[in-house]
Amino acid sequence: MTAVPASVPDLRAALLAWFDASGRALPWRLGPEGQRDPYRVWVAEILLQQTQVARGLHYYARFLTAFPTVQALADAPLEDVLKAWEGCGYYARARNLHRAATLVAQQGFPTTYGGWLALPGVGPYTAAAVSSLACGEARAVNDGNVRRVLARLYGEARPTDAWIQARADALLAPQRPGAWNEAVMDLGATVCTPRAPRCPECPLAAHCAARAGGTPTAFPAPKVRTAVRGVQAVAVLIGDGQEAVLERREGTLLGGLMGLPMREIGQDETLQAALATLCARLGARPGELLGQVSHSMTHRQITLHVYAAAAPLPQQRVAGAALSRLDHKALELLRARQEGLFAAPPPEGSSV
């Protein structure tokens, strides 16, 4: 399919006029184009990599309240940063943000795409976004919203990243690169939506090949999704909802966070064997089953079997620790039991 012919200047003018009248008022968009606070823009772009704007606004406000400047972020202990990031998920973002803030506090904010790209945790999208929005550099962004808008505009069912980047570069308004990037993203987020695009309201409707063909939602074709892997794990709660034994997690998924002592159940391992191994490591005595919780993380669906346990180990305040949502769900089991919100689970092997 071929896009409806249109001059690039006319297309730019139509989208920018729509954006000036209808663009979202977001807290990191304060200040004139190309001269915004790079710290606020940077934090927002990192946060919104895996979080929708509607939910991200709350987390953004909380994080900026805790760390209003890059110096405050650089000076903060990593534990405090992870606590402020709690609930956002993908905690490697917070660890990299903290590392990069240390560099920025020493060297100053980058002013170019290359300078931003050199920071930990900053990839091509974030570097293009911050350098265009805060520094006025002519760099086109490429994210999910941009992909959908351009795939429909040109009628391309299976656009590659290189294809999208080339079209985004060609359409970028050189005099207002930041506004253009925000306009395309806002259009995708509010009008050119995945399942119910509001084509009559779209400033690019007259130029859109997908609309002309009558099937805008067919573009782009769905990506092949990575299969979700089911994971079974066991955890022990030594203490209560206020104070408990917590361990620092390792690895990329939840690395740096605190959590209940936990063990993944091996493919040929029984739940009781995994529990016994976990308790042996801790020198703990297992108690009753508190229940199960489930949580999706990346391409994993985790089912966590949570047991009470006893051990002479130091406990710490739960409220002050940076915990994953999985651990909050596990701790909620005890609170619900104590408040009688549900009955104790039947013994294992019961037919009830």
Q: What is the dihedral of CA 18, 19, 20, 24, to 10 degrees?
A: 130
Q: Are 223 and 14 in contact (CB under 8 A)?
A: no
Task: State the pLDDT at residue 96.
Answer: 96
Residue 346 has pLDDT above 60, yes or no: no
pLDDT tens digits for 203-224? 999 999 999 999 999 999 998 8
Angle between helices 161-171 and 8-22 (to 10 degrees): 90
Q: Specify the pLDDT at position 1.
A: 56
Which residue is catalytic, options 33, 45, 269, 339? 45
Mean pLDDT of the chain: 92
Domain coordinates of the chain in residue numbers?
Answer: 8-218, 229-338
Mean pLDDT of 76-85: 95
Whole-number Å distance between alpha carbons of 282 and 278 = 7
Bridge partners, 258 (sequence order):
248, 323
Question: pTM score, two decimals?
Answer: 0.83
- Please state which of the four CATH numbers 3.90.79.10, 3.40.50.360, 3.10.290.10, 3.40.50.10260 is assigned to the domain occupying 229-338: 3.90.79.10
The second-level CATH assignment, the architecture, of 8-218 is: Orthogonal Bundle (1.10)
Rounded distance, CA 174 to CA 27, Å? 24
Active site (annotated) includes residue 269: no
Helix locations, 85-160, DSSP H: 92-107, 113-117, 124-133, 144-154
Beta-bridge partner residues of 259: 247
